[in-house]
Structure 1
Amino acid sequence: MLTNASLLPYNTFGIAAQSKYLTTVTSEDELGSVLADASFQSIDKLLLGGGSNVLFTADFEGLVILNRMGGITLTGQDQDHIYLRVGAGEVWHDFVMYCVENGYAGIENLSLIPGTVGAAPMQNIGAYGVEVKEVIESVEAMSVSEGTKRVFSSSECQFGYRDSIFKRELKGQYMITAVNFRLNKHPNLKLTYGDIEKILDQRPDSERSIRAVSEAVIAIRQSKLPDPAVIGNAGSFFKNPEISNSQFETLKAQYPTLPGYPLPGGAGVKVPAGWLIEQSGWKGYREGSIGVHDKQALVLVHFGGGTGAAIKNLSERIQASVSQKFGIALSPEVNFIG
Structure 2
Amino acid sequence: MSTQPPVFTDQDLQARNTLGLPSRAAVAVLDDESAVPALCAALAASQKDQQADAPLFVLGGGSNLVIAARPRHCILQVALRGIRLWDETADHWIVEAAAGESWHGFVDHCLAQGWPGLENLALIPGTVGAAPVQNIGAYGLELDQRLHSVVAWDLHAGRERTLLPEECGFSYRDSLFKRDGAGRWLIVRVRFALPKAWVPRLDYPDLRDFPGLRKDDPRRIFDAVCEIRRRKLPDPAVLGNAGSFFKNPVIDADQAAALKQRFPDLRTYPQADGRVKLAAGWLIEQAGWKGRRLGPVGMHARQALVLVNHGGAQAADVLALAQAVRADVRMRFGVELEQEPVILD
Which band: TM-score by shorter chain?
over 0.9
Corresponding residue for 1:154? 165
Q: Which residue of 1 aligns with 2:11?
A: 5
Write the letter of the residue equivalent to 2:175: S
Give the equivalent residue in structure 2 for 1:209: 217
* 1:293 maps to 2:267: no
Match of 1:330 among 320, 323, 337: 337
Gaps spanning 5+ residues in structure 1: where? none
> Where does structure 2 lack aligned partners over 5 or more consecutive residues?
1-6
2:253 corresponds to 1:245: yes
SS at match of 1:221: helix
Q: Which amino acid aligns with 1:23?
A: A
CA distance in 2, matches of 1:302, 1:46: 23
Deviation at 1:170, TM superposition (A): 5.2
Per the alignment, residue 235 of structure 1 pairs with 243
The question of whether the paired residues in 2 share the 8 Å contact of 1:103 and 1:185 is answered with no
- Distance in structure 2 (CA, Å) of the matches to 1:131 and 1:89: 20
Partner residue of 1:184? 195
Map 1:1-338 to 2 at 5 A.
1=7, 3-19=9-25, 21-37=26-42, 41=47, 42=52, 43-169=54-180, 171-199=182-210, 201-203=211-213, 208-265=216-273, 267-338=274-345
TM-score by length of 1: 0.94
SS at match of 1:181: strand
- Give secondary structure in 2 for the equivalent of 1:317: helix
Work out the CA distance in 2 between the residues paired with 1:173 and 1:113: 25
Aligned-partner residue type, residue 297 of structure 2: I
8 Å Cα contact 1:36-1:147 kept in structure 2: yes
**Percent identity at matched positions?**
41
- Distance in 1 (CA, whole Å) between partners of 2:333 and 2:249 is 12
Q: For 2:205 and 2:9, how far apart are their aligned partners in 1?
A: 45
User: What do residues 30-72 of structure 1 show as CA deviations (whole Å, max 9, x unaligned)?
Assistant: 2332343368551311111100001103412232111001111
Q: How far 1:261 sits from its partner (Å)? A: 1.0
Letter in 1 for 2:32: S
The aligned amino acid for 1:276 is L
Q: How big is the shift at 1:2?
A: 5.1
In the TM superposition, what is the alpha-carbon distance from 1:79 to its structure 2 partner?
2.0
Do the aligned residues in 2 keep the contact of 1:99 with 1:105 (CA within 8 Å)?
Answer: yes
User: Conserved in 1, the CA contact under 8 Å of 2:98 and 2:189?
Assistant: yes
Structure 2 counterpart of 1:280, one-letter code: A
Counterparts of 1:29 and 1:103 in 2: how far apart (Å)? Answer: 31
What's the offset of the Cα at 1:309? 1.4
Task: Give the match's secondary structure for 1:264.
Answer: coil
On the 8 A contact 1:292/1:299 being kept in 2, the answer is yes
Q: 1:294: how far off?
A: 0.5
Structure 1 letter corresponding to 2:41: A
The structure-2 alpha-carbon separation of the partners of 1:169 and 1:37, relative to structure 1 and needing over 3 Å to count, comes to closer
The answer to whether the 8 A contact 2:58-2:182 is kept is no
More divergent stretch after superposition (273-282 vs 52-61): 52-61
Aligned length: 333
Aligned to 2:3: none
Please say if residues 149 and 165 of structure 2, whose CA atoms lie closer than 8 Å, have aligned partners that are also in contact: yes
AA aligned to 1:225 is L
Deviation string, structure 1 residues 277-326 (Cα, Å, up to 9, x no partner): 00000010113321110000100001221101110111011111101100
Distance across 1 between alignment mates of 2:182 and 2:174? 11
- Taking structure 2 as the reference length, the TM-score comes to 0.92
Residue 189 of structure 1 aligns to a residue whose secondary structure is: coil
Shift of 1:109: 0.3
